[in-house]
A = this chain, B = another copy of it.
């Protein structure tokens, strides 16, 4: 069936959301129209405010609605630790996990020559410029453990080591709660190679 124009446009617009197919979009549109019009209007306002108001932090380059984000201006955080990530989602994930109290720097993705993403495109020059201005004792490379993420981590390490900065990589291994029998061979090999002594 063809819906009336406004309903059809709403269903199509809802499908731009990730993970929303035609059936869910229809259910969402109906829910808003039948049961929660004020919620629908609130969502419209929140979308407009965020799409226009959220930019990028000048320092860590994560999403921010101020020139420098809250995490970069927080005086309680440790300036000597810099964690390098490949997307704002990763900053959120690390913050939600807790336990890290340093600063962040967000790359625009990973090195991927095949997609035309070289050091300049992902923001390496800005990273180096920041490291010259700030006193960072250790850089933690937390790009994803994919081929591109590993290549990016190695590339950055090769740039920073000659400058006398300590460079570390997040641990790879068996996730908590994981069962060895269901874990892929690559992860298992990493977990064995990266074993630590029990003191």
Contact A4 to B43, CB < 8 A, known contacts A31-B18, A87-B34: no
Query: When the two chains form their complex, are residues A33 and B17 in contact, meaning their CB atoms are under 8 A apart?
Result: no
Question: Does A69 sit within 8 A of B, measured CB to CB?
Answer: yes
Q: Are A63 and B34 in contact (CB-based, < 8 A)?
A: yes
Stretch at the interface among A5-13, A75-83, A135-143, A150-158: A5-13
Question: Which chain B residues border A65 with CB–CB below 8 Å?
Answer: 4-7
Quickly give the copy total for this chain.
2
The answer to whether the Cβ of A51 comes within 8 Å of any Cβ in the partner chain is yes
A17 touches B46 (CB 8 A): no
From residue A147, how far is it (CB to closest CB) to chain B in Å?
Answer: 22
A37, CB-defined interface residue at 8 Å: yes
Residue of B nearest to A98 (CB): B1
Look across to chain B and name the residue whose beta carbon is closest to the beta carbon of A91. B1
A173 to B168, alpha carbons, bound, how many Å? 64
- Please measure, in the bound complex, the distance between the C-alpha atom of A66 and the C-alpha atom of B43, giving whole angstroms: 24
Q: Which of B6, B31, B36 is within 8 Å of A49, CB to CB?
A: B6
- Cα–Cα distance between A38 and B13 once the two chains are bound (Å): 11
A108 to chain B, nearest CB (A): 10
Q: Does residue A48 face the partner (Cβ distance < 8 Å to B)? A: yes
Give the contact stretch, choosing among A20-28, A118-126, A179-187: A20-28
Q: Is the pair A17, B44 in contact by a Cβ cutoff of 8 Å? A: no
Question: Once bound together, how far apart are the Cα atoms of A18 and B25, in whole Å?
Answer: 10
- Judge whether B51 and A33 touch: CB under 8 Å: yes
Closest B residue to A71 by beta carbon equals: B1
Of residues 106 through 124 on chain A, the ones whose CB sits less than 8 Å from some CB of chain B are none
* Chain A residues at the B interface, C-beta cutoff of 8 Å: 1, 3-7, 9-10, 12-14, 16-19, 24, 26-34, 36-37, 39-51, 53-54, 63-66, 69-70, 87-89, 92, 95-96
- Which 3 A-B pairs rank lowest in CB-CB distance, beginning with the nearest? A1-B95, A13-B46, A16-B39
